[in-house]
Amino acid sequence: MELTNTEVFDAWAEGLDPGTHESFCSFCAENYSTIECFLYARFLGYLGSITACEEWIKEKYQKPDHRQILLDEIGYMKDDIRLLRDDIENMSVKREAGVARIAAMEKELRGTINQVEQFTTNKDRKGLLMAGADRAIRELAFIFKDDPIEGPLKEAAMSVWARMQLEE
């Protein structure tokens, strides 16, 4: 019987030493980025696919999709503005009050759109930085495999990882 992606990743995670396992699981529980969790797993020696990691995270840790929440909010705001315009045309709402309210709602809408753009940009930027760091560290590890510098290099890689996690 073939193992599922989740079982493969779970077996890898369970094979970590207890302190590393606890640290990795805590990171995954607190972090919203599957990519960052995957890259952390790669730093720890995971060689499998991101798909297995993603499925494992979805099964173990429920994550809210903040971007989708904001996108849904934008849709609701657009509907509210459209309804208010209809009410103004139907004379259900005084024109002056309605126009002022539409201006305020559109300002709020633009702010929410800006929030989505910033959220997406920051997430993409950090993911790219993490992927670049992962690639560089993997190349260095390959170059210095079986070299006396291999141990200190792994320690340095973990320090780089920790530092990048603290940066926004």
> What secondary structure, in 3-state letters, does 62-122 show?
CCCCHHHHHHHHHHHHHHHHHHHHHHHHCCCCCHHHHHHHHHHHHHHHHHHHHHHHHHHHH
Q: What is the pLDDT of residues 90-149, one digit of tens each?
A: 988 898 988 999 999 999 999 999 988 887 777 767 777 777 777 777 788 788 888 888
Q: How many CB atoms lie within 10 A of CB 56?
A: 25
Pair 31, 37: CB distance under 8 Å: yes
Q: What is the pLDDT of residues 10-40, one digit of tens each?
A: 999 999 999 999 989 998 998 877 888 888 8
pTM of the predicted model as reported, rounded to 2 decimal places: 0.54
Q: Which residues of 106-118 are buried (b: 16+ CB within 10 A; e: fewer)?
A: eeebeebeeebee
Question: Predicted confidence band at 76 (pLDDT cuts at 50, 70, 90)?
Answer: very high
Range 72-96 average pLDDT = 92
For the cut 60, the answer to whether the pLDDT of residue 156 exceeds it is yes
